[in-house]
Structure formats: C-alpha cells, structure tokens
Amino acid sequence: MSAHVLLGGYVAIGVAAAIHARIRGAPALQTASMIALWPFLLPALNGPRTTPAQTSTDGARLAALEKSLEAAWAEVAALGAGRATERERMGRFVSHLRTQVARLEEMDRALTNAADRLRGPLAQLRARTAAEVGEGLVLLEELVAQLTLLRFTGGPGGEAARHEKDHVEALLARIGALAEVSAAS
C-alpha cells in the first residue's frame, strides 16, 4: 500500500470525524483540528460524558436498601421500637431518593445530546445530585445497620439498646433534615 493511499484514508477519516464533531456541536477549533488529530480527539468526543452505569447501580442499591429497611423496621417494631411517624418520614426520604435517581438518569440522557455550552452547568448539577443521592444511600445503609444492632441488643429497655436507639434517633434526625431541605427545594 502506498503512502498516498494511507494519507488519503487518514484525511478521509479525519474529515468524517470533523463532520461528526460539528454535528455534535463541537467548537470550530476542535472541528478543524479533528482532521489532523482525529485518533486523539475522536475518543474524547465520543467517550462517556457521564456515568449512566453508576446511576443504574444507585437505583439497584436503593431498591435493595428499601427491602432491607422494611425488614429492619418490621423486626424493630416487634421489639416495641420504631414509631409510625419515623417510618413515614423514611418513606418520604426514600421516595425523594428514588426521584433523584430518576432525575440523574434523565440528566444522563440530556448530557449525551447537550450543546457544549450547556454540558458544564448540567454536569455540575448532575454531580451535586449524585452526591446528594450518595449521601442519602450511605445514611440509609447506616440506618439499616443501626436497626439491626438495635434488634440484637436485648430489647428496648437495656443500656445497650438505649445507646443504639440514640444512634438511630441521630440518624433519623439527619435524614429528616435532609428530607426537609429536599422538600423545600
């Protein structure tokens, strides 16, 4: 194969990559440099801009936590702990997290087609939302663990049970505060 054929193929791929970049809304300078530097720029243009796999993982994690939380509440309720208002508050918080996970999935779809000038602010909003979801999931995991400990501390009247109940109350207060803030926004 001659050098002319190879060079012609390289330029043809570069032109096709530049057209692709322009259609996707790339700036003019990036589009022009795509012709010569397409092996380096094309992966960045087509690479993942967000982490949709993480979003679906968060959804699966939330679903598993909902089941674990429901089971933990039922076991603690059998010991005479866990008021209905606390469970109601948790239900609202879990519902809010479910909404946020769906919002993340929607942002992932929007980011794939967003114009360059919108990608930055949208990516920042997505990062804040993902951090909020992550914090909420960690709190739920911690609550499930504390409820499980409460179950094995020997009933609601013992010293160890009071200590664990204090931990549960502190977690519920944090979750309640997050739920109130999220309800206001």
The verdict on 75 and 120 lying in the same domain is yes
The verdict on 41 and 56 lying in the same domain is no
| 129-144 residue pLDDT tens | 999 999 999 999 998 8
CB 144 within 8 A of CB 69: yes
Q: What is the DSSP letter of 156?
A: T
Rounded CA gap, 65 and 116, in Å?
Answer: 37
Rounded CA gap, 88 and 99, in Å?
Answer: 17
The verdict on 106 and 164 lying in the same domain is yes
The verdict on 70 and 119 lying in the same domain is yes
pLDDT given for residue 81 in this prediction: 56
The verdict on 71 and 127 lying in the same domain is yes
For 114, phi and psi rounded to 5 degrees?
-75, 145
The verdict on 17 and 81 lying in the same domain is no
Structural domains in the chain (count): 2
For 115, phi and psi rounded to 5 degrees?
-65, 155
Domain range spanning residue 76?
Answer: 52-184
The verdict on 80 and 120 lying in the same domain is yes
Give the tokens for residue 36: 């010569």
| 121-179 residue pLDDT tens | 888 999 999 999 999 999 999 988 888 887 777 555 667 767 777 777 788 788 877 77
The verdict on 112 and 163 lying in the same domain is yes
List, in sequence order, every beta strand (DSSP E) within 35-185.
Answer: none
The verdict on 154 and 96 lying in the same domain is yes
- Other Cβ atoms less than 10 A from the Cβ of 165: the count is 19
pLDDT at 182 over 70: no
| 100-111 residue pLDDT tens | 999 999 998 888
The verdict on 32 and 60 lying in the same domain is no
The verdict on 74 and 125 lying in the same domain is yes
The verdict on 31 and 76 lying in the same domain is no
pLDDT at 22 over 50: yes
Higher pLDDT, 72 or 85: 72
pLDDT given for residue 48 in this prediction: 42
For 143, phi and psi rounded to 5 degrees?
-65, -45
